[in-house]
């Protein structure tokens, strides 16, 4: 069965705010509670991961990720409630986009032949 695949992203003032790679990074940060571990798990440099997170945080009305250094809990990184909301909303939008595209594609019977 043929299907349409696409990648979407959200821009703000011509710059990428959220996209598939950034969402993957956010999900790994939520899982590992570490930018370094998340970057390593998805094959990205720490510097690039940090830059992406910083860009998302500064482009947003609220931070998506917060970091804590040292202390009795040893520091760590946390995806905020707002960050989790952005992950969920992006994934909902992505699914809706693929569903719409595949419905339109399936309506084009000539391509199926």
**For the chain, which residues make up each domain, given as ranges?**
11-112
Higher pLDDT, 104 or 71: 104
pLDDT value of residue 106? 85
Cα separation of 83 and 24, whole Å? 12
Of 97, 93, 9, which Cα lies nearest the Cα of 105? 97
Q: Average pLDDT, stretch 31-49?
A: 96
> What's the pLDDT band for 72 if we cut at 50, 70, 90?
low
Decide which of 3.40.50.261, 3.40.50.1980, 1.10.10.10, 3.40.50.720 is the CATH code for 11-112.
1.10.10.10
Whole-structure pTM value: 0.86
- State residue 108's pLDDT score: 86
Confidence of residue 74 (pLDDT cuts 50, 70, 90): low
């Amino acid at each position: 069965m043929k299907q349409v695949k696409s990648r979407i992203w959200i821009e703000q003032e011509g710059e990428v705010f959220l996209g598939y790679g950034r969402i993957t990074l956010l999900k790994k940060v939520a899982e590992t509670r570490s930018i370094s571990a998340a970057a390593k798990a998805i094959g990205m440099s720490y510097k690039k991961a940090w830059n992406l997170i910083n860009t998302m945080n500064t482009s947003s009305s609220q931070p998506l990720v917060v970091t804590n250094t040292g202390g009795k809990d040893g520091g760590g990184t946390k995806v905020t409630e707002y960050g989790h909301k952005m992950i969920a909303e992006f994934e909902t939008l992505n699914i809706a986009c693929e569903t719409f595209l595949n419905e339109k594609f399936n309506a084009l019977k000539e391509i199926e032949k």
